[in-house]
């Protein structure tokens, strides 16, 4: 699979349809073995989703860094997706729908596709259907609409909420034939329309979670060919980087938006730290034909393709890792204390050294955004 780098045995933990057998795990990872034992071999979707907090605790006790924990939480969410889809297909066959009428692939989008999800993400997904004649549209699309409605409902009931922006395979906008997806991208990338760029940005981080992965590879091939030849689209994508300013004032001091802040010490490090970094890296990746959706992998490949210096890529990788660590720690505390799990971090809880390091990391991200904007303009 070219869309995702899997360079660690940890990534095999939730790769199979069956959950790992704790009896086969060594004592070296006893906290994980104990967590899996408490979960059991065949939990319901809701029980398996609630268990993620216990999974994170176990991984933290094993001293895994936050970026690796985010990967494994995302892998576990992939498992939940696959289980929800399989249950939905079994239900449909039991109701007389039969087997899927053609090849298909469900995609996760956004942080789920990048395998950078922390706690409490909502759903962002889409579906690619193999090309079929227009005369069979009612029959074939009707089947996959029913599948999309069923698996997204199951995930919602399990604790992964429906997307408030309707970015889900249950809606026609996000459920298309492969030829329709390529046509849609051609329309979206033809000029500088803000709404089209915003919609394309949602799609451009995707990962095949169930079905025929070859359909996702074909779409990735198309994206890699199309994007470097779409300068107007890339210019507008660069302009939109300003919509999520980094949490610094003009003097480079920590200062974020107050809108929605839970208190005056809070910085939204998701919206004003991680997302500016992710968006700028995505823009550079599209310009250079970099294929993997993961931000870490994109940074590595950008060095190989001459899009970034190795020094800058290492600094940005470290910045992303530290931001993920701050966010995950805050989310776990919020969960323990019954507060909403979100992207805000209380900077008053950070020592002076960590605040200085956070300021340094955000300055690195601001410099990357400026670089990405300049490269797009050029």
What pLDDT, in 10s, does the model give residues 11-55? 999 999 999 999 999 999 999 999 999 999 999 999 999 999 999
Tokens of 82: 């696959």
CA distance 321 to 319: 5
pLDDT of the residue at 6: 55
Residue 139 CB neighbours (<10 A): 11
- What is the structure's pLDDT at 377? 46
What pLDDT does residue 374 have?
84
Closest CA to 245 of 229, 236, 226, 258: 258
Segments of the chain with pLDDT less than 50? 1-2, 4-5, 377-378
In this structure, what are the phi and psi dihedrals at residue 203, rounded to the nearest 5 degrees? Answer: -75, -30
Q: Tell me what pLDDT residue 350 has.
A: 92
Count CB atoms within 10 A of the CB of residue 233.
Answer: 23
Q: State pTM to two decimals.
A: 0.93
pLDDT the model gives residue 260: 84
pLDDT of the residue at 351: 92
Beta-carbon count within 10 A of 107 CB: 28
Residues 178-214 have pLDDT tens digits of 999 999 998 888 877 888 888 888 899 999 999 999 9
Contact yes or no for 345/274 (Cβ under 8 A): no
Which pLDDT score, from 0 to 100, does residue 7 have?
64
Please check whether residue 296 is in contact with residue 281, taking contact to mean a CB–CB distance below 8 angstroms: no
């Amino acid at each position: 699979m070219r869309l995702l780098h899997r360079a660690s045995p940890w990534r095999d933990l939730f790769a199979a349809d069956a959950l790992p057998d704790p009896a086969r795990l060594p004592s070296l990872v006893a906290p994980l073995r104990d967590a899996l034992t408490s979960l059991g071999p065949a939990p319901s979707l809701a029980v398996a989703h609630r268990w993620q907090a216990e999974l994170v605790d176990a991984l933290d006790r094993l001293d895994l860094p936050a970026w690796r924990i985010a990967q494994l939480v995302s892998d576990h969410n992939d498992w939940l997706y696959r289980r929800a889809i399989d249950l939905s297909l079994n239900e449909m066959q039991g109701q007389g729908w039969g087997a899927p009428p053609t090849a298909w692939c469900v995609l996760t989008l956004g942080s789920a596709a990048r395998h950078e999800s922390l706690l409490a993400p909502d759903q962002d997904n889409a579906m690619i259907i193999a090309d079929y004649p227009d005369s069979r549209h009612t029959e074939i699309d009707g089947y996959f609409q029913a599948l999309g409605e069923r698996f997204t409902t199951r995930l919602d009931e399990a604790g992964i909420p429906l997307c408030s922006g309707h970015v889900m395979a249950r809606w026609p906008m996000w459920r298309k034939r492969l030829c329709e997806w390529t046509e849609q991208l051609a329309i979206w990338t033809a000029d500088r329309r803000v709404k089209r760029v915003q919609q394309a940005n949602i799609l451009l981080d995707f990962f095949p979670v169930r079905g025929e992965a070859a359909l996702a590879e074909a779409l990735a091939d198309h994206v890699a060919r199309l994007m470097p030849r779409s300068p107007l689209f890339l210019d507008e994508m660069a302009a939109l980087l300003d919509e999520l300013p980094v949490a610094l004032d003009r003097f480079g001091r920590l200062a974020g938006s107050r809108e929605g802040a839970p208190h005056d010490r809070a910085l939204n490090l998701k919206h004003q730290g991680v997302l500016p970094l992710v968006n700028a890296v995505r823009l550079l990746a599209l310009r250079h034909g970099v294929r993997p959706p993961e931000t870490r992998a994109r940074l590595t490949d950008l060095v190989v393709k001459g899009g970034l210096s190795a020094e800058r890529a290492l600094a940005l990788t470290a910045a992303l890792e530290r931001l993920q660590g701050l966010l995950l720690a805050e989310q776990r505390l919020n969960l323990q204390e019954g507060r909403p799990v979100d992207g805000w971090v209380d900077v008053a809880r950070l020592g002076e050294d960590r605040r200085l390091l956070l300021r340094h990391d955000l300055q690195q991200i601001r410099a990357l955004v400026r670089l990405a904007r300049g490269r797009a303009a050029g």
